[in-house]
Structure 1
Amino acid sequence: MSNKLSEVQTRMTGVHGLESVVGAMRGIAAARSREARSHLDGIQACARMVGAAIGDALVLAGRHALSTSANASAGGALTIILGAEQGFVGTFNEHVIDAAVSSASASPTEYFMVGDRGNVAAAERGLNIGWSAPMVTHADEVPALADRLANALYERLEAGCSAQVKIVHAVPNSSATIEVSQQMLLPFDFDRLSITPGRDAPLVTLAPQRLLERLAQEYVFVQLCEAIMLSFAAENEARMRAMIAARTNVHNTLERLAGNFRQLRQEEITSEIVELSAGTLAAAEGRRKPRLRPISR
């Protein structure tokens, strides 16, 4: 019985340690999610500024002069998937990859995969992964990853391998479900950016077409930054939900072990009482037995 009690106590100690780890992971995930969300306003403000600059440049070039509407049938499609870098995110990667595959075009599709855990899940699905990189683990790493991703993307475009580029990623969601966003990056859609009527054309030193190309590249870079930041926040929110579920399981395990411990302790106490009672009764019986007197001759 003592061995069983000792074993239960050891397991309870281990589960308490696991509870501390789960709590720490949940706290880290919450802090990183808040940090990512705090950067979104700045990224979106930058996107508005670049969009306004494109609108000004369109006054110079005119929409009829745009030559960035590439022929989608001239090349294949490229899909950027933003997955998770670390584990304990539930079905986060599977949801994002399923959304990317289900919306793939009929033309041959190459995939850029971001996130080591997502990369493993994509390889298991047999996707054609042409480029991969680790996902960020801190919000301040987002611009560097976006720059690497943009460089790899434009290398593919210059080689004529892709004509359409789409990015698929998760977005933060207050509910328990994983919400996935899909956005077309290229060909660049200038029609979504408005021209301010009656506004004077700006003074520039570049040819209008060249200026628009550079501004479009800058806008795509900002879009990549926003998508990575949103995915990073969503990943950590998924980890928070996983840790909350793990904490519930830990508490249930602790309650079960505590119940086993009380039951075993009660059985041990009962056994000791029975042994003491049996010993006391045996001693009392020995005292009550009559002593035999020797027979005198």
Structure 2
Amino acid sequence: MTSRLSEIEGRMATAHQLDAVIRAMRGIAAAREREAQARLAGIRSVAATVGEAIGMVLTATHRDTGGFAREHDLAPVLIVFCTEQGFVGGFNERLLERVENWPSPGAAALFVVGTRGAALADERRLAYDWSVPMASHAEDVMRVAGRISDAVFARFAAHSASAIWLIHAVPAQGAQVAIVTRRLVPFDFDRFRTATRVRPPLLTLPVDKMLTGLAERYVYVELCEGLMLSFAAENAARMTAMLAASDHVGETLKALTREARIVRQDEITTEIVELAVAVAPASGSGIGKRA
């Protein structure tokens, strides 16, 4: 049984190493989730500043933005934020299920953010028009948002009557995640209207050009916020997955420890029996000689 005990002890050593890796990955995910949450305040502050500027321009010019276009006149574009790395449980599956459950999904163009999401879309035979890798670090969010905004405005250059929707995860209570869907475009200027100022702002650019630039900036900031929320939710999901994996490794170690104790006890019992069998004839021959 010595070879069997050595095999079990080898499996236990491997399990301990795996548990150390899992704990390290969980720690990294926790740190990244906290970093993403901390950066959200700055992004929202920029959004508030841009929104205030839009309101000031609208109020000073008394401009009628015309409200939303009718929904059925717009071709929907769905931008889904998936993950670049694995070990996130069913995170990407839930996001693509939301896409598949979209009303008339065949009529919607799909932009997939995240290599894992694109691979899963291929497995599900879900056609997409454009994809880009997801941010692997919080500081990479702005670059990815820039690439997405470029793709969005390129889409408008070819199809001006489009409605842009974001589908992404957000962190929820207890290290859980929730899936949200929100419209990015058509842009609702009316929500930025502010009270009339005593001294109106000085405008040195054409109003249309200024509002277009501010709207593009606000769309970019909203993309940054959605990406950062998705990145935080991704790492929250990874922490949950690593916790489940750690529990599984712990149960495996307990089972291996029990098996090792049984094998070791069997070896001890076998050795005692062998020793007893070896001692018995020697004791018997000694008694015969004394007689």
Distance 1:192 1:243, change over 3 A: same
- Which residue of structure 2 aligns with residue 274 of structure 1? 273
Question: Contact conserved, 2:19 with 2:249, CA < 8 A, in 1?
Answer: yes
Q: How many residues align?
A: 291
Mapping of 1:123-202 within 5 angstroms? 123-160=122-159, 163-175=162-174, 177-202=176-201
- Which residue of structure 1 aligns with residue 246 of structure 2? 247
Identity of matched residues, %: 42
| Distance in structure 2 (CA, Å) of the matches to 1:220 and 1:200 | 28
Q: Secondary structure at the match of 2:196?
A: coil
| Distance in structure 2 (CA, Å) of the matches to 1:107 and 1:206 | 41
Question: Contact conserved, 1:26 with 1:240, CA < 8 A, in 2?
Answer: yes
- Which residue of structure 2 aligns with residue 284 of structure 1? 283
Using the TM superposition, name which of 207-216 and 34-43 deviates more: 207-216
Deviation digits for residues 231-282 of structure 1 (CA, Å, limit 9, x no counterpart): 0000000000000011111111111100000110000001001111111111
Deviation digits for residues 94-138 of structure 1 (CA, Å, limit 9, x no counterpart): 111112332345771011100111111122222231110111111
Deviation digits for residues 171-229 of structure 1 (CA, Å, limit 9, x no counterpart): 01123543011110111011222322344321111111221111111000000000000
| Distance in structure 2 (CA, Å) of the matches to 1:159 and 1:23 | 48
- Which residue of structure 2 aligns with residue 5 of structure 1? 5
Question: Contact conserved, 2:135 with 2:141, CA < 8 A, in 1?
Answer: yes
Distance 1:15 1:248, change over 3 A: same
Question: Contact conserved, 1:57 with 1:202, CA < 8 A, in 2?
Answer: yes
Listed as ranges, the gaps of 5+ residues in structure 2 are: none
| Distance in structure 2 (CA, Å) of the matches to 1:67 and 1:5 | 78
The aligned amino acid for 1:268 is: E
- Which residue of structure 2 aligns with residue 295 of structure 1? none
| Distance in structure 2 (CA, Å) of the matches to 1:287 and 1:246 | 61
| Distance in structure 2 (CA, Å) of the matches to 1:254 and 1:106 | 47
| Distance in structure 1 (CA, Å) of the matches to 2:198 and 2:122 | 51
Question: Contact conserved, 2:84 with 2:133, CA < 8 A, in 1?
Answer: yes
Mapping of 1:220-235 within 5 angstroms? 220-235=219-234
Distance 1:176 1:34, change over 3 A: closer
Listed as ranges, the gaps of 5+ residues in structure 1 are: 293-297
| Distance in structure 2 (CA, Å) of the matches to 1:106 and 1:266 | 63
Question: Contact conserved, 2:177 with 2:236, CA < 8 A, in 1?
Answer: no
| Distance in structure 2 (CA, Å) of the matches to 1:175 and 1:104 | 31
Question: Contact conserved, 1:136 with 1:142, CA < 8 A, in 2?
Answer: yes
Using the TM superposition, name which of 91-100 and 37-46 deviates more: 91-100
The aligned amino acid for 2:46 is: C
The aligned amino acid for 1:84 is: T
The aligned amino acid for 2:202 is: L
| Distance in structure 1 (CA, Å) of the matches to 2:127 and 2:73 | 19
The aligned amino acid for 1:132 is: S
- Which residue of structure 2 aligns with residue 43 of structure 1? 43
| Distance in structure 2 (CA, Å) of the matches to 1:281 and 1:4 | 29
Distance 1:259 1:159, change over 3 A: same
With normalisation by structure 1, the TM-score equals: 0.92
Question: Contact conserved, 2:113 with 2:132, CA < 8 A, in 1?
Answer: yes
Deviation digits for residues 32-85 of structure 1 (CA, Å, limit 9, x no counterpart): 101111100000000000000000010133342x26845644552100000011
Distance 1:24 1:264, change over 3 A: same
- Which residue of structure 2 aligns with residue 56 of structure 1? 56
Distance 1:156 1:71, change over 3 A: farther
Mapping of 1:197-216 within 5 angstroms? 197-216=196-215
With normalisation by structure 2, the TM-score equals: 0.94
| Distance in structure 2 (CA, Å) of the matches to 1:30 and 1:176 | 10
